Structure 1
Amino acid sequence: MHPEISRRRKLYHENQMSAGNDISAGATPTFRYCIASTPRSGSILLARMLAGTGAAGAPREYLNPLLLRAWSRLNPGRRLSLGAYMAEIESRRTSGNGSFGMKLHWRHVKNLLARNVPETVVRPLLMRQEKFIFITRRDKLRQAISYHIAESTGVFHADQQEWLKDLGAAQPPLSPERALRHLADVLEEERGWTDFFRRSGKPFLHVEYEDLISDYAETCSRIIGFLGIEAASIPDMTPRMEHGGLPERFREEVLKATGIRAEQFDAA
Structure 2
Amino acid sequence: MTAPAVAEMFAAMLEGITTGYEERFDFPERAWQPQISYLLASVPRAGSTYLSHLLWRTGCLGAPLEYLNFEPAGPYGFAHGDRAKQVQLWQRALVRRTSPNGVFGLKAFPALLHDLQLGNPALVDEVIRFLLGSGSARKVVRLRRREGDAHAISYARATLSGIWRQEQEEGGRPEPAYSAEAVERAAISIEQQEAAWDAMIRDLQITPLVLWFEDVLEDGKGAAEQVVDYLGITIDPKIEVDIPEIRQQSREGAHAWAEAHAQR
- What CA distance in whole angstroms lies between the structure 2 residues aligned with 1:232 and 1:40? 30
Give unpaired runs (5+ residues) of structure 2: 1-5
2:162 to 144, 148, 154: 154
Following superposition, the deviation at residue 97 of structure 1 comes to: 0.5
Find out whether 1:109 has 2:110 as its counterpart.
no
RMSD: 3.1
Q: TM-score by structure 2 length?
A: 0.80
- What CA distance in whole angstroms lies between the structure 2 residues aligned with 1:191 and 1:12? 37
Following superposition, the deviation at residue 125 of structure 1 comes to: 4.4
Q: Which residue identity is paired with 1:157?
A: R
Counterpart of 2:85? 80
Give unpaired runs (5+ residues) of structure 1: 258-268
- What CA distance in whole angstroms lies between the structure 2 residues aligned with 1:15 and 1:215? 24
C-alpha contact (below 8 Å) 1:58/1:94 kept by paired residues: yes
- What CA distance in whole angstroms lies between the structure 1 residues aligned with 2:241 and 2:256? 31
Shift in CA distance, 143/202, structure 1 to aligned 2, threshold 3 Å: same
Secondary structure of 2:29's counterpart equals: coil
**Counterparts in 2 of 1:105-254, with a 5 A limit?**
105-115=109-119, 117-118=121-122, 120-121=125-126, 123-128=128-133, 130-158=138-166, 160=167, 163-165=168-170, 167-233=171-237, 241-254=248-261
C-alpha contact (below 8 Å) 1:13/1:67 kept by paired residues: no
- What CA distance in whole angstroms lies between the structure 2 residues aligned with 1:37 and 1:90? 20
Secondary structure of 2:84's counterpart equals: coil
Q: TM-score by structure 1 length?
A: 0.79
Following superposition, the deviation at residue 189 of structure 1 comes to: 0.7
C-alpha contact (below 8 Å) 2:67/2:89 kept by paired residues: no
C-alpha contact (below 8 Å) 1:58/1:93 kept by paired residues: yes
Following superposition, the deviation at residue 110 of structure 1 comes to: 0.8
Task: Single out whichever of 26-35 and 4-13 deviates more from structure 2.
Answer: 4-13
Secondary structure of 1:67's counterpart equals: coil
C-alpha contact (below 8 Å) 1:34/1:102 kept by paired residues: yes
- What CA distance in whole angstroms lies between the structure 2 residues aligned with 1:133 and 1:12? 31
Paired-residue identity, %: 26
- What CA distance in whole angstroms lies between the structure 1 residues aligned with 2:108 and 2:69? 8
Bigger helix share:
1
**Counterparts in 2 of 1:2-17, with a 5 A limit?**
6-9=10-13, 11=15, 16-17=20-21
Give the length in aligned residue pairs.
246
